[in-house]
């Protein structure tokens, strides 16, 4: 992300023309579509005031652009099957699959959700991070928001910062929790493993709420809500409380098996190689209509299958007691 500041003064030849037309002429290194979005979001001002793209400008008017520009030249669009839960002119809601990186990074320049989004909607190239509002870890499934305009992006990012976006997750944790609770512990980089996050006095504020959906013999099905959205927040918080998520290859501990469980359950737990975490529900007021909207994505097949196995083990153990 690069911060830019551009300035120009309207000449006689540009006077009494539309703002977006004049901006396209004065700042020709940027597309007209991008400039229109900057005008609508207040990133391009006239004499210190926000205007509309169709407003006329006059001789001597001072145009100033202060914007964040994503260096998107290396991003490639890729045809990809996307599970689109909702889409309109302002935003897209995706049900992200497992084993899918959201944003290109070292070692993952292609095959990311961002690459697929650029194929689906090429104009996203004009937006910071291609409009992606928040991220999910590679092996976390579920709902994720993408803005399609700069106005929507600015609005949704602000709502996320003000905790006006509701996010609910479902997870399977190792261990039996006696009840729900709240984890209010700051998170920072792990002192040894730089890939991990850990509770740290100097870390960022992080608040996680959890509620028991179902207890099994040695695992717990949880509903989790976030007040903040730190990297690996749920995984790091639950691990810190000694209830790591099933299958978590980074924060997990040794395999947890119910005593005397069937070999099929032991095999299922052993072969579950991703964190059992799914972004189930998402809610926010629409950036344009202001209508409060809610979306839900059903649990993926692998988590459903594991829950059935755990339920069967619980019933069998209860009947033998």
Tokens of 141: 């499934």
Q: How many CB atoms lie within 10 A of CB 254?
A: 6
Do the domain assignments include residue 78?
no
Say which of 14, 20, 61, 137 is annotated catalytic. Answer: 137
Q: Alpha helices of the chain — where are they, by DSSP H? A: 19-26, 32-41, 113-120, 150-161, 233-240, 263-271, 301-320
Q: Which of 161, 176, 192 is the last residue of a domain?
A: 161
Within a domain: residue 74?
no
CATH code assigned at 94: 3.30.2350.10
Residues 41 and 100 occupy one common structural domain: no
CA distance 204 to 208: 13
pLDDT of the chain, 321 residues: tens digit per residue: 678 899 999 999 899 999 999 998 898 878 787 888 889 878 899 999 989 999 999 999 999 999 877 655 568 899 999 999 999 999 999 999 999 999 887 666 789 999 999 999 999 988 888 999 999 999 999 999 999 998 999 899 889 888 899 999 999 999 999 999 999 999 988 888 988 999 988 888 899 999 999 999 999 999 999 998 888 999 999 999 999 999 999 999 878 888 889 999 999 999 999 999 999 999 999 999 999 999 999 999 999 999 999 999 988 888 765
- Overall domain count for the chain: 3
Which tokens sit at 246?
């099933």
Query: In the annotation, is 137 catalytic?
Result: yes
Judge if 278 and 218 occupy the same domain.
yes
**Angle, CA of 316, 319 and 321, to the nearest 5°:** 110
Residue 196: give the domain boundaries.
Answer: 166-320
DSSP code per residue over 281-304? EEEEE-TTT--EEEEE-PPPHHHH
Does a structural domain hold residue 293?
yes
pTM of the shown model: 0.79
Instruction: Identify whether residues 170 and 132 lie together within a single domain.
Output: no
């Amino acid at each position: 992300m690069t911060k830019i500041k551009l300035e120009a003064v309207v000449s006689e030849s540009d006077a009494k023309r539309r703002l977006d037309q004049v901006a396209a002429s004065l700042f020709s290194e940027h597309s007209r579509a991008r400039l229109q979005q900057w005008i609508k979001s207040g990133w391009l001002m006239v004499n210190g005031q926000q205007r509309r793209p169709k407003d006329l400008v006059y001789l001597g008017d001072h145009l100033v652009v202060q914007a964040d520009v994503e260096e998107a030249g290396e991003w490639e669009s890729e045809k990809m099957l996307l599970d689109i839960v909702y889409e309109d002119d302002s935003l897209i809601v995706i049900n992200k699959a497992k084993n899918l990186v959201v944003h290109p990074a070292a070692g993952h320049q292609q095959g990311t959700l961002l690459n697929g989004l650029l194929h689906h909607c090429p104009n996203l190239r004009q937006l910071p991070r291609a409009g992606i509002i928040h991220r999910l870890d590679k092996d976390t499934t579920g709902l994720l928001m993408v803005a399609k305009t700069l106005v929507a992006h600015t609005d949704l990012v602000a709502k996320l910062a003000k905790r006006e976006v509701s996010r609910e997750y479902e997870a399977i944790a190792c261990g039996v929790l006696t009840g729900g609770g709240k984890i209010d512990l700051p998170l920072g980089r792990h002192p040894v493993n730089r890939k991990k996050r850990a509770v740290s006095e100097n870390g960022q504020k992080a608040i996680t709420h959890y509620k028991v959906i179902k207890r099994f013999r040695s695992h717990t099905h949880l509903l989790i809500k976030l007040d903040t959205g730190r990297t690996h927040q749920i995984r790091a918080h639950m691990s810190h409380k000694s209830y790591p998520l099933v299958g978590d290859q980074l924060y997990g501990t040794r395999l947890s098996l119910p005593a005397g469980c069937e070999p099929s359950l032991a095999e299922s737990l052993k072969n579950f190689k991703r964190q059992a975490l799914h972004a189930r529900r998402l809610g926010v007021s629409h950036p344009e209509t202001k209508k409060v909207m809610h979306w839900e994505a059903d649990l993926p097949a692998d988590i459903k299958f594991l829950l059935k196995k755990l339920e069967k083990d619980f019933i069998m153990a209860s009947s033998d007691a």
